[in-house]
Amino acid sequence: MLTAAIAPGTAMSAPGNRKMGYAIVGLGSYATRQIMPQFANCESARLVALVSGTPAKLERYGAEYGVPRTHLYNYQNFDSIRDNPDIDIVYVVLPVSMHAEYTIRAASAGKHVLCEKPMAMSSAECEAMIAACRQAGKRLMIGYRCHFEPHNRLAIELARAKFVGPTRQITAAHGFNISAGQWRLDRTMSGGGSLMDIGIYSLNAARYLTGEEPTEVVALESTDGDDPRFRTVEDRIDFTLRFPSGVIASCVSSYSSGHNDYRVIGTNGWIAMEPATPYSGHVMHVRKDGVTERRELPPPVKNQFVAQLDHLPECVSAGNEPIVPGEEGLRDLRIIEAIYRSARERRAVTLVSA
């Protein structure tokens, strides 16, 4: 869970004031449009290598970012990154089915790993990834960017401090109308439908806003079997989480309707985010004692992407664990598996703490 062990954005120098080098594995739109441009603003991280199965992408982005040809890799020669001392960290930005393989191979090559969410296809794969990094003596961090976003961090602070009274209920909804033809709609590559892709934001938000782990889940799936987009994956899942304190979280995950919001409801008001987890443009309102106000935050020193990229090098330098380690991804996958089981078996499923 999110902790205050290291405040995201806290500047710490890499050994010898050297920025640590990242190799980006997978040059899809998220990597090229959201992640790679952010290195220009990092204090502790730099882009030094690229990995792709598409030569044209390696040529294009290598030239754009000044990556030498000696630092351009494909999936066949990926393991030779062990011989490149410029690479300290591998950022796995691939379809979910490839996360475990490339995390384990990166650790075996002696590199720290930042892996996108969802962490893997199953909790068993997550456990194997954690074990591989631990055996190699390398850090493993999962790409939960919202843990580094100022509005979300403020929402966590206010909720856990009982600013609107003790939390009684949380609602969280994430979804969009997905276009056909995406790898996310192929279960062999994604591991599931909306829950694995966008519903994980609702799930993770419920956990980080409470600071607790749920004890029970009840879920209901709604998928149009005649819609060709959903031949192998689910569309919508509504799920309810029960937490030890008595908080109930009602969550939505959808591939056919637009949602991006959550609300923490306390005894004296509520804290609302809409949109809650976009790449930019977050909006927060707080209602307390009958008065509703919009919370405006100053521009951050580091946005969520920069803070995330800098965090892992800073943890490595300081000898600390990331605030979102592999265990965070494992917890979400175990709950996701329970949500699928509840929807499939049409019953409540008890969650066992590990």
* Residues with active-site annotation: 117, 201
Q: For residues 193 and 234, is the Cβ–Cβ distance under 8 A?
A: yes
Cα end-to-end distance, the chain, whole Å: 14
Long-range contacts of 273-281 (CB under 8 A, 24+ apart): 273/151, 273/152, 273/155, 276/151, 276/152, 276/172, 276/174, 276/201, 276/205, 277/146, 277/149, 277/152, 277/174, 277/201, 277/205, 279/34, 279/305
Q: Mark out the alpha helices in 115-169 (DSSP H runs).
A: 123-136, 150-160
Residue 131 corresponds to which tokens in the numbers above?
């074990």
Residue 321 corresponds to which tokens in the numbers above?
């664990």
For residue 262, give the H/E element and its range: strand 259-266
